[in-house]
Each structure stands twice: as structure tokens, then as C-alpha cells.
Structure 1
Amino acid sequence: MQRPFVLILASCLVACPTEPEPKQDGWELVHRDLPGALLSVWGTSSTDVWAVGGDSLDGLGPTILHFDGEAWTRMESGLSQGNLWWVFGFEDGPVFMGGEGGVILRYEGGEFTSMTTPGTGTVFGIWGASPDEVWAVGGTSAAAGGFAWRLSGDTWTPEPSLPADVSSNGAIWKLFGTSKDDAWLVGSNGVALHWDGAALELGESGVGSSLFTVHASEGRYVAVGGAATGIISEYEDGQWTVVPADPPAPGLSGVALGEDDFGVAVGSFGAVYTRSSTGWTQEDLGFNLAMTLHAAWIDDQGCVWAVGGQVYSPPFDDGLLIHRGPSISSDGL
């Protein structure tokens, strides 16, 4: 009497579909073909991640996404249009987002506030050692109008020690620091400026092409840039040194450093390079990306997030996000 049941059960075990096992590690394409390109990604943890970018052209303004560890949410800032180029903030708030027209948004307590700024150039980068020590940098174009602003209370003011020739000859693309008395600003023409807590001083980056992003961890700074050929320059022991990538990289636009010599740099044609104690080597994603990756971030678990899309000319669209680590949800969008 038991034999038919055994046969049915055996047949089901062979033929009935089973739930696929979740991907535990490796690269995955989480989002693609988003209305707005994603130009920056940052968070406080793997369950508090922000990504911002291009105007979605749907009347809801710049693309602003938030991930809570389970699902993604499209956030409405109150702006009806515009592109946001960078996001940075603090665990207990606020979160700052900067973009075209001198726009800086502050997100705190569940609300967006559009801050008053001293100019109308594009804010390309934001960083701060604390909510009381925040910087914003940018330019009117890639070739002129570079600026550096500092936040005092609720007021953004230009940093007077920014050299006039640096401002007139290019943009300041990004900045990053390890404390309120130690930060590097990078920009057009290989410009590298160090902040020591009192004034900006021009350093020697060793390159003539634009440096688009800079990051730091464990006493090491890394800046990346270049156009057709990527540039990686590392700062240790008081000196910037250009280091090779294997194989040579295309133009690079984003970099982030983690612990134990680890780092990631991203750029044109979906290029991803990671750093170890032996140097920078290209990653095999396991899938092809035709679009540019513009920025990267490493979370508290050591997982890598990278974003991009069509970023070379407006409209900035075809947004994408990739991730390395335990599989994450794409739900909500």
C-alpha cells in the first residue's frame, strides 16, 4: 500500500521545481536601465545606502534612491528637475547631496531642505569630518570656475585660501579626508590641494590629467582619473606616486578604500579594478557592462557598491548599480 506514495514522492523530487539557492558572494547587477544615471553611492551601513544621480525627466527631479537592507525607495526631494553629483553624510544625520546650479540638499529627520549656497556652479563633491566640518567642491565647467565651500552653521562660505589660478583654470572634482585637519582636494589638470586645518596648500600629484575622485583609509590616500588611459596615484609618506594597473585601465572616475590594503576603482566601459597588497588588478564581473561606472563605496561588511550609467553628456540616464557580496534585493523600483 505504501509503494505508490513512494513513487509519487520520488517523481516529485526529480520533477518538481525547487527554490534556487541565494547567491552568497560575487558580483551581481542589481539595477539597470534606470531613468536617471547614478553618479554617487554612499551609506552608513549595508542597511542604510544612498545613491543619487541624473534627472529622471518625470517631473520628480533628481534620482535619489535609498536602500534599507530589504527594499529600495525612490525619494522625492522637492526639486522638480536637476542632476545630483554626490552624496555624503553621517550616521546620525544629516545627509548632504550636491549638484547642478549650486544645489545642496540636506536630508535630516525625514525631510529635505534646499540650502542657500554662494554660487551657481555644479557641486561635484561633498565630504566632512563631522556635521560641523563639511566641505563642498565643484566648478562652473571642467575648465574653469573651481570652488571650495565650507559650512558654518547653516551657511556655506568660500574657502579664501583656494589659489586663484586653480579656481580659474579648472574644477575641483572631489575631496576626502581623515580628520578636520587632514584632507585632500583633487581636480582638473592633476590639481591636488592639501588642507591642514588652517589653509589649502598646493601639492604635487605627479599627473597632468584630471583627478576625479580621492579616498583614504589606514593612512593611505588614492586618487584616480585620466581620460582614455586611467590614472591611479597613491599618497603615502608625504608623496604622491602613480602606480600601475594590471592590465592598464581605461579612464577611471571613482575610488573607495577599505581595510587591509583593499580598494576598488571604477570607470569607463564598466571597468572595475581592485587593490590588494600586490597592487591593482582588473575584476572579472561575470557579465558585460557597456556603460561607465562613476562611483564606488565599500560598506561596513566589506561589500562593494558601484554605480553609473550614461554619464558623459545630458540627459544622464540608463542608471545602473552593481554589488559584490551576499546577494541584495532589487525590490521597490
Structure 2
Amino acid sequence: MINFKKYKILLILIIASLTFSLVTLIRPMIKIVQANPVGWEWQNPLPQGNYLYAVWGSGPNNIFAVGAYGTILHYYNGSDGFKWYSMDSGTSNDFYSIWGSGPNNIFAVGYAGTIIHYDGNTWSSMYNDNRYYYLYSIWGSGPTDVFAVGFPGNSILYYNGTDWSSISISTTNLFLYSVWGSGPNDIFAVGESGTILHYNGTSWSSMDSGTTNYLRCVWGSCPNDVFAVGYAGTILHYNGTSWSSMDSGTTN
């Protein structure tokens, strides 16, 4: 008769031996990676799993990240040293973008037209208008010249240092996902169906992007070197006169 108990014990010993060997083999590799970190590394600083959508900082030791359900994280030298700390935003609305003119003048924008402001100590509600379903991006040339875009795209919010007001845009009613400028008289906003708007210091006008793909972000190094990126691997470049397509090597 086969002694199943005997074979069961033998099988357990074999599995234990293999497990020990595998751990012994992998452990040195793990130590190497930890001891010699190169490039980017993952951090999960707080026990929260909310999406984080945007990051901005006034310097290497003063960084803010914003995201879903009113999440705001702040990296600075706090009570437990340099680490990420959770901040009270005063809302559960999602935040999609953050920008500041300095460490004591920071704005975060998001769902339901929500705009909050940080004065260096606390966040406070600044603007809330349900007519704006989403505010996706914020940028300013300075503390008294700030723009926020989103949906509906037929109006852009403007802050003059005292109040927020709405600027009517007759050329589009589509989603606007990103805003950036090289200065107060040279600002770009991009969005749905290849939409590109330009502000010359006086008025907003449409630009020919040459694409119908959604454009999700715009940024430049100067007025004659601006990039817009979006769906299907779209990369556009502006040379100060016109937009042209660049080969990204991907359709993703």
C-alpha cells in the first residue's frame, strides 16, 4: 500500500527547498537595484490610491501634486523631514492642473469649475461655477495675468490679480485641454479636434493645426519654438509662423 503521508511530507520538503533556492537567487539582484538606484524610482508616499493628474513646484524642495477627489500632496521639509504630506483642499472635486507664480501664490483647477488658491499656508476656495464642467489647465505670465481653460471651450477664465472673469470665444465650443504662453501677448490653448487658439494680448483667434486629432498639451521654449501633442502620436511644431506635423514614430 502507498504511504501517501510519506509522499506528502516529501513534496512539502521539495517545495520548501525550491522556494528557498529561488529567494536566495533573487535577493542579491534586489539588493543591487536598491543600493544603486539609477534614474526614476517609484514612490508611494501616502496610503491613498487616488489618481494624480498634475504636478508643479516653485523649487526642488517645494512641490505640489493634485488629483482625484480633491487630492493635494505637498513635498517639503515638514515635521518628519523631506517627504510628501497630504493637504486639505476643502473639496472632493477632482483637480486636473496646478500652477503658481511663486511659493505663496498657487492655483489648482478642476471639476465643476473649481479653482482654489494657496497663500503659502492654507488652500481656500476662489471660484466655483458649474457652468464649467471641467477646468483642465491653468497657466499665467504672472500673478495678475492667469488663464484657465476647459469645457465648454467657448469661454476662457481670466484672473487679473483680484477677480476671475469669463472671456467669450466665438471660434469654438470644444474641449480645451491645455494652455501655455511665452508671455502675456503670446498664449496658446489646444484641445478637441485639432483646435489651437492663440492670444496676441488683445484677442483670441483660431490657428490652422492641420489635424483633427485631439491635442492634449502645449508647451514651448520661446515664441518661435512651440510644441503641441495629442492622440495617435500627433506632434505639432510652431516656428512662429505656422504649425507643421512632426514624425513621432508611433500612432499610439
Confirm or deny a common fold (TM above 0.5).
Answer: yes
> Runs ≥4 in structure 1, deviation > 4 angstroms?
none
* Runs of 5+ unmatched residues, structure 1: 1-16, 56-61, 251-333
Which residue number in structure 2 is paired with residue 39 of structure 1?
Answer: 53
What's the RMSD between the two structures over aligned residues?
2.3
Which residue number in structure 1 is paired with residue 235 of structure 2?
Answer: 232
**Structure 1 counterpart of 2:40, from 27, 30, 45:** 27
**Deviation per residue, 1:220-250 (Å, 9 max, x gap):** 1111111xx221111113111111123x151
Structure with the bigger RCO (C-alpha within 8 Å, sep 6+) is 1
The within-5 A match list for 1:110-121 is 110-117=121-128, 119-121=131-133
Q: CA deviation at 1:77?
A: 1.1
Contact 1:148 1:172 in 2 (8 A): no
**Structure 1 counterpart of 2:88, from 41, 58, 76:** 76
CA 1:233–1:38: 2 relative to 1, 3 Å: same
Q: CA deviation at 1:201?
A: 1.2
* Runs of 5+ unmatched residues, structure 2: 1-30
**Structure 2 counterpart of 1:50, from 59, 64, 71:** 64
**Structure 1 counterpart of 2:156, from 137, 148, 170:** 148
* TM-score (norm. length: structure 2): 0.78
Report whether the alignment pairs 1:241 with 2:244. yes
The within-5 A match list for 1:1-333 is 21-23=35-37, 25-31=38-44, 34-55=48-69, 62-68=70-76, 70-79=82-91, 81-117=92-128, 119-140=131-152, 146-160=154-168, 162-163=169-170, 165-167=171-173, 170-218=174-222, 219-226=224-231, 229-246=232-249, 248-250=250-252
* TM-score (norm. length: structure 1): 0.60
Partner AA of 1:105 in structure 2 = I
Q: CA deviation at 1:192?
A: 0.4
Identity in percent: 27
**Distance in 1 separating the partners of 2:154 and 2:57:** 27
Could you say what secondary structure the match of 1:189 adopts?
A: helix
CA 1:26–1:249: 2 relative to 1, 3 Å: farther
Aligned length: 215
Computing the radius of gyration over CA atoms, which structure comes out larger, 1 or 2?
2
Could you say what secondary structure the match of 1:207 adopts?
A: coil
